[in-house]
Amino acid sequence: MKFSFVFLFVYLSLTASSQTLVINEVMASNAATIADEDGDYTDWLELYNTSNATIDLSQYWLTDDKDEQKKWHLPAIQLLPSEHLLVFCSGKDRLSRELHTNFKISAAGEKVRIYNESGVELDQIESIAVFTDQSFGSKIDGSTERIIFEVPTPGFTNGSESPYFNAVIFSQKGGIYSQSFNLELIGDDTTELFYTLDGSIPSILGIKYSNSIALDKSLLSTKNISDIVMSPDDVHHLPVGDLPQVIVLRAAKFYNGKRISPVSTQTYLIKELTFPIIELPIVSIATDSLSLFSEDTGIFVPGIHFDESSPNFSGNYFQSGQEWERLINVEYFSPLSNEGFNQECGLRMHGSGSRKPPQKAMRLYARSEYGQSDFDVKLLNEKPFNSFKRLILKPFYSSWSQNGCTDYIAGRMAKNLNVEYLAAEPILLFVNGEYWGIYYLQERLDERYLEQNTEVGGDSIDIIESWYGQVNEGNNKNFSALYDFIEDNDLTNSGNYEQVSEWIDINNFIDYQIFQSFISNYDWPANNMKCWRERKEGAKWRWIFFDADGALENITFNGLAHSTEINGTGWPSSPRSTLFLRKLLENTTFS
């Protein structure tokens, strides 16, 4: 009897685990992809049976609320192996020829889950914020790797190899060209091609392709997006004169009025239309204008989050997190060879005060769900890396002295010291075809940066970003113990100094402090401080040099006095931020 019970338990467990039901694809903003029987374009999801057995769906429940696991009961439908089932998440709550849940899916992003009768969660998928008529789901049916689908496949196989889904081919790739030429778009006999010139996603309301396109000044965008108010009144300035422009062409295939291919994007800088001489790399961003300039969701504008009583720290551009990441296409090409990259990625705002002016600091995020998990190209030649996961676009104006180069120059000086620093290079930036100015493309300082630059695993790194022990990554237990020891002990005592030397990479700390004083960095040490260590026994704290926008400005500024200030009340120098150096200078071995 015992054997039979165990056998039956194992058999039932194996049977249950083999009946694997997953949420294969989800769309939370459906404007034209598929209509329900009422003619409405509603949210939907797709279920998929990954097993070799038929599944009785009456044993399962769907929900968008983990606290209400049995929110909507699936009907008694037998789902065959490798079969798909389309479920509309319309809130209509009905079982008819179509299935309609009693809930909708938030377009801003939320998790949808599936549970069995016992309350066990079988699968979940997060409907991340994507463009209208894009879906999110398994790259291959039933797989755990999930991506954005520009061409959704409700009720059908994900990742179809149908020729309809192939991208439009351009006869000449984007880049820098001396003169205008004719460009051809190549599709197939059964589809129509539509394109746009303002950065927007192509639709049947765009320009229909019929013959080759002459890349001349008639294709330059007339949107004048630089005239849009993107800042509070005190920093909102319109550009002087006409701005140089490039041609941004985005194209896609359409069949029966619906887009059935990914969007292809190419940027063409024609020297006779823009700059006669190009010596810097080009970065071109293309995206739907609502992503940047919508009052509700645009990340470039003051928008609905602007507060006149707090103009310096409010506005849409001060919002953060995945909800405020926007899908863009970004291109980079060299002025010498047109080599670089062209891919979709995420865009967020970056920095603090640099979010306010029209030329804003930005972050670029490579993610697998956008198609590529890295920017795979040799960039920033002062380091030997061939790929990056995060990049920063830093505006030229951001230096306090308005000379545009203090941070860049200081970074190039720091690379010869015993400190971590950020590789960077100047570029020319274009947004939806309009010139946005000189920017610096540089590494993003986070755990991925340290993992790449130090070969220490990102999951075993502690990063501290203030002298109060504010955690950027990991924890502050070791740093807090270090701070307390330095504060409470006499460092003229050789034993105490040796103890601190076991905590701190002394040579790194010396280089870091001397260099910050040498360049007279006013926006430090109470600000712009980061240090890191590998989270293991015996690992030492090292300081990272970054953000010298407030440096190299005042030739009479005493950097050493600033970095040892004892009477400061906060920013830019405070007793807490100068404690380490002051106490260490008391030791003759250190000084």
Residue 165: the pLDDT is 61
Q: Do 483 and 466 have their domain in common?
A: yes
Average pLDDT over residues 70-80: 95
Q: Do 322 and 417 have their domain in common?
A: yes
What DSSP character marks residue 71?
A: S
Q: Could you tell me if 98 and 90 are in contact, meaning their C-beta atoms sit under 8 angstroms apart?
A: no
What DSSP character marks residue 411?
A: H
Pick from 134, 160, 186: which residue ends a domain? 160
582: part of which helix (H) or strand (E)?
helix 575-585
Q: Do 90 and 110 have their domain in common?
A: yes
Q: Do 133 and 249 have their domain in common?
A: no
Q: Do 257 and 334 have their domain in common?
A: yes
Q: Could you tell me if 31 and 41 are in contact, meaning their C-beta atoms sit under 8 angstroms apart?
A: yes
Q: Do 149 and 81 have their domain in common?
A: yes
Residue 151: the pLDDT is 81
Pick from 160, 183, 209: which residue ends a domain? 160
Tens digits of per-residue pLDDT, 268-309?
A: 999 999 888 889 999 999 999 999 999 999 999 999 999 999
- Number of folded domains in the chain? 3
Half-sphere exposure of 66 (CA within 13 A, CB side): 9
Q: Do 141 and 180 have their domain in common?
A: no
Residue keyed to tokens 């396109």: 213
Other CB atoms within a 10 A radius of the CB of residue 478 amount to 18
Task: Report which of 167, 50, 43, 47 is spatially closest to residue 108, judged by C-alpha positions.
Answer: 43
Q: Could you tell me if 23 and 112 are in contact, meaning their C-beta atoms sit under 8 angstroms apart?
A: yes
Task: Report which of 558, 552, 576 is spatially closest to residue 566, judged by C-alpha positions.
Answer: 576
Q: Is it the case that residue 2 has pLDDT exceeding 60?
A: no
Other CB atoms within a 10 A radius of the CB of residue 198 amount to 17
When pLDDT is cut at 50, 70 and 90, the band that residue 167 belongs to is: confident
Helix axes 506-518, 575-585, angle to 10 degrees: 120
Q: Do 295 and 410 have their domain in common?
A: yes
Classify strands 111-116 and 60-63 as parallel, antiparallel or unpaired.
Answer: antiparallel
Residue 262: the pLDDT is 84
For residue 527, is it within any domain? yes
Q: Is it the case that residue 464 has pLDDT exceeding 80?
A: yes
Q: Is the dihedral of CA 567, 572, 574, 577 positive or negative?
A: negative
Q: Which of 54-58, 123-127, 246-250, 343-347 is least confident?
A: 123-127
Q: Do 121 and 181 have their domain in common?
A: no
Q: Could you tell me if 348 and 291 are in contact, meaning their C-beta atoms sit under 8 angstroms apart?
A: no
Sheet strands side by side (includes 111-116): 72-73, 60-63, 111-116, 121-126
CA distance 381 to 41: 49
Tens digits of per-residue pLDDT, 417-457?
A: 999 999 999 999 999 999 999 999 999 999 999 999 998 98
Those residues with Cβ within 8 angstroms of residue 99's Cβ, 6 or more apart along the chain or in another chain: 74, 75, 85, 86, 87, 88
Residue 127 sits in a domain whose CATH number is 2.60.40.1260
Name the H helices within 455-569.
477-488, 494-503, 506-518, 559-563
Classify strands 387-388 and 390-395 as parallel, antiparallel or unpaired.
Answer: unpaired
Q: Is it the case that residue 121 has pLDDT exceeding 80?
A: yes
Residue keyed to tokens 């113990």: 481
Other CB atoms within a 10 A radius of the CB of residue 486 amount to 19
Q: What is the DSSP string of 306-334?
A: --TTSTTS-SGGG--SGGG-EEEEEEEE-
Tens digits of per-residue pLDDT, 306-342?
A: 999 999 999 999 999 989 999 999 999 998 888 899 9
**What SS3 class is residue 21?**
strand
For residue 26, is it within any domain? yes
Residue 5: the pLDDT is 34
CA distance 211 to 204: 17
Q: Do 368 and 405 have their domain in common?
A: yes
**What SS3 class is residue 290?**
helix
Q: Give a three-class secondary structure readout of 328-350.
A: EEEEEECCCCCCEEEEEEEEEEC
Residue keyed to tokens 């040799």: 378
Residue 18: the pLDDT is 41
For residue 452, is it within any domain? no
Whole-model pTM: value is 0.77
Q: Do 200 and 148 have their domain in common?
A: no
Give the structural domain span for 92. 19-160
Residue 160: the pLDDT is 59
Per 3-state DSSP, the chain is made up of helix, strand and coil in percentages (nearest 5) of: 20, 30, 50
For residue 366, is it within any domain? yes
For residue 571, is it within any domain? yes
Q: Do 182 and 280 have their domain in common?
A: yes
Structure tokens that stand for 293 in this block: 């300039």
Q: What is the DSSP string of 356-401?
A: SSSS--EEEE-BGGGTBSSEES--STTS--SEESEEEEEEGGGSTT
Task: Report which of 452, 244, 442, 298 is spatially closest to residue 361, judged by C-alpha positions.
Answer: 442
For residue 312, is it within any domain? yes
Classify strands 264-270 and 175-177 as parallel, antiparallel or unpaired.
Answer: parallel
Those residues with Cβ within 8 angstroms of residue 197's Cβ, 6 or more apart along the chain or in another chain: 207, 219, 220, 221, 247, 248, 249, 433
CA distance 375 to 127: 24
Rg of the chain on CA atoms, in Å: 28
CA distance 495 to 493: 5
Residue 1: the pLDDT is 36
For residue 303, is it within any domain? yes
Q: Is it the case that residue 378 has pLDDT exceeding 90?
A: no
Between 110 and 89, whose confidence is greater?
Answer: 89
Helices (H) and strands (E) in the chain, counts: 9, 36
Distance, C-alpha 387 to centroid of its chain: 15
What DSSP character marks residue 200?
A: P
For residue 449, is it within any domain? no
Pick from 127, 160, 193: which residue ends a domain? 160
Task: Report which of 119, 150, 115 is spatially closest to residue 27, judged by C-alpha positions.
Answer: 150
